[in-house]
Amino acid sequence: MAVLVYIEHEGGVVKKSSLEAVSYGKKLAESLKTDVKAVGLGSISMEEWNRVAQAGAADALHVVDERLDVGIIQAHASAVGQAFESCGAKILVLAKSSLGDAVAARLSVRLKAGMVTNVISLPSVENGFSVKRSIYTGKAFAVSEISTENKILAIRKSTVEPMMEDRQIQVEVFSAVLEDSLFQVKITGTDKAAGQISLPEADIVVSGGRGLKGPENWGIIEDLAGVLGAATGCSKPVSDMDWRPHHEHVGQTGVKVSPSLYIAVGISGAIQHLAGVNSSKNILVINKDPEAPFFKAADYGIVGDAFEVLPKLTEAIKAIK
């Protein structure tokens, strides 16, 4: 029951969520007394493969084709499916993401594989094969049993910490057969905020709400995010008022995040916002209203004026660093 892990990268840099998937795959393979192998598509340097090795993979298949540098779903699904069949794997592990979900769905049909997404723990194999997953935007859990021979597990971000162990990796070039028809869809451009950390990949997120009173005050959010190496986000009303760009909107109808630490500043905590952040490992709420609903969902809370608290917090972190 060999385990294959699908690696995503952006601009040649392997995503942290994929490194987490590798570490999950390594632990799963150990529990099943089998091997784990990674598969990566497109332009990935040896330096990045070494990061994959540190996360737990000693072997990898590399489909070297520049057309795969962008996430064309049909092409990625075909390449990963061929790698899965070639190496005799029975379990495919990947990070839950917009691309990962689409690839996994197509592979579920191709491989006749049972698929579970939002996985948050290693499977139980004592009586069959069952796995725990998050449902209802993190408010509940379900245990799903997979009875098919082939299995696909999409791992929720921050489920495991990536390993950082010194090990070598053997990378084998894998020649997938990719017809031109797989590339009929063309990605002509991608709009991305330059110099900013991607919200879905961020380990720390600092978000602001209407309590910031206006876009001219966002400097205190950016200053705190800067010293923490964090991404910046905002509530829906803030993006609706064009105080911040819409790609920073965190919530049920915006970006869903699962960082190690989510800092909410001047955000009341509407249910729509909580639905986008309740997978966070830790939530810190800063609000001058002690009755703000967000405090009920918080691991830590500071009752105070953001314009007083944030500058002091930023300076304190600078001093520690």
The type of residue at 218 is W
Residue 267 annotated as binding? Answer: yes
Residue 268 annotated as binding? Answer: yes
- Extract the tokens encoding 131: 């796995």
Give Cβ neighbours of residue 177 (< 8 Å, ≥ 6 apart).
82
Residue 76 annotated as binding? Answer: no
Q: Are strands 91-95 and 151-155 parallel, antiparallel or unpaired?
A: parallel
Residue 71 annotated as binding? Answer: no
| Helix, strand or coil, per DSSP, at residue 245 | coil
- Whole-number Cα distances in Å, 8 to 18, 74, 81, 198, 320: 6, 15, 15, 14, 34
Residue 146 annotated as binding? Answer: no
- Extract the tokens encoding 65: 């084709």
User: Rounded to the nearest 10 degrees, how much is the dihedral formed by the CA atoms of 62, 66, 71, 77?
Assistant: -50
CA separation for the pair 291, 303 (Å, rounded): 10
Residue 270 annotated as binding? Answer: yes
Tokens 């408010």 correspond to what residue?
Answer: 139
Residue 202 annotated as binding? Answer: no
- Extract the tokens encoding 245: 């760009």
Tell me the binding residues for FAD: 210, 266-273, 287
Q: What residues are designated binding site?
A: 210, 266-273, 287
